[in-house]
Structure 1
């Protein structure tokens, strides 16, 4: 990994950890869905020793995370093999959001791969009543495809359109969560350059 990419990954990690630290209290259980190599979950377990941290991911990557946590001597971390998604891309973000809502749990989610969003047996888009009254499914899918147009090599005007579309897709998700009694913020990671997909959904149940 290049030094520049390592800096961006650290910035992304710092944003997520800062938001979780604001929501977490003593003896809370924190679930890191789609946990990858455990970068977020392991830092949270170290930073919040009075919380239990559970990482969920596919078996091969979980082994790597487990090895790292053992090397650090972390006692408040556990691992569950999960095959729902390889990472929170597309509709996987909505699956995580749904699990949190059913558990009445707070959430910090960094969505990605908006272009992979599509109707499933469980979810239909747009998610919120307000968006469904304004956009058809086809129009929402166009919005999602434009939301993926944020790569750094694209012209700035196109990236700004992509960022606005990202905000609209996540606003739809936030309004859907609010109908279940949540207060939700759609936030941007700092600095914005840490990732082309720099939105965060932060929600707290009433």
Structure 2
């Protein structure tokens, strides 16, 4: 049986091959791919003692019962929230793509009452959980868009920041493209 060409398992970049390829890609893209020399400073760390129980993964209402899971979720949230707080300004609109029950977006809405947060989620059971959590904490700067990312994009809603905690599969690329299109 004939075999096709063998693929190399590794490519060793020689001289400036990577820089040359990167320059070629940059020329063909409509997006500026340069990395800023200074990144925004992260915001303050999350003070979990001041967070309402409905927004704390360690609280029993969040149902993270596996050993260590709540602590890992707290660490993930603290990292993303810290970076988002470093770029959010009063009046900004932040979209949480693939929001699920709102762990990330609702925490941001609570910590930044001067910003608006939109949770984008297509699963009804997750949306119901998020609505219950919004009501429990009485957040008035948060809304839910139930639908796919493409539906949200077609809605024309403007936003200045986009976040995702666990964007899976093509959602990551689609969210990044939409953020770039909005300058977020």
TM-score scaled to structure 2, two decimals? 0.54
Per the TM alignment, residue 88 of structure 1 is displaced from its structure 2 partner at its CA by: 1.4
Partner of 1:11: helix, strand, or coil? helix
Q: 2:73, 2:104 → 1: CA distance? A: 10
| Structure 2 residue runs without a partner (length 5+) | 1-64, 151-165
- Are 2:91 and 1:27 aligned? yes
Aligned to 1:5: 69
Note the aligned Cα RMSD (angstroms): 1.4
Aligned to 2:21: none
Q: In structure 2, which of residues 147, 156, 160 is the aligned counterpart of residue 82 of structure 1?
A: 147
Partner of 1:65: helix, strand, or coil? helix
More strand by share: 1
- Are 2:102 and 1:102 aligned? no
Mapping 1:34-49, distance limit 5 Å: 34-49=98-113
- Are 2:94 and 1:15 aligned? no
Per the TM alignment, residue 89 of structure 1 is displaced from its structure 2 partner at its CA by: 1.1
Per the TM alignment, residue 83 of structure 1 is displaced from its structure 2 partner at its CA by: 2.5
TM-score scaled to structure 1, two decimals? 0.48
Q: In structure 2, which of residues 122, 128, 133 is the aligned counterpart of residue 63 of structure 1?
A: 128
Partner of 1:50: helix, strand, or coil? coil
Give yes or no for contact 2:120–2:149 (8 Å, CA) kept in 1: no
**Quick check: which has more Rg, 1 or 2?**
2
The alignment of Structure 1 onto Structure 2 pairs a total of residues equal to 104
Question: Which 4+ runs in 1 deviate beyond 3 A?
Answer: none
Per the TM alignment, residue 92 of structure 1 is displaced from its structure 2 partner at its CA by: 1.3
Aligned to 1:136: none
Per the TM alignment, residue 84 of structure 1 is displaced from its structure 2 partner at its CA by: 4.2
Partner of 1:43: helix, strand, or coil? helix
Give yes or no for contact 2:96–2:117 (8 Å, CA) kept in 1: yes
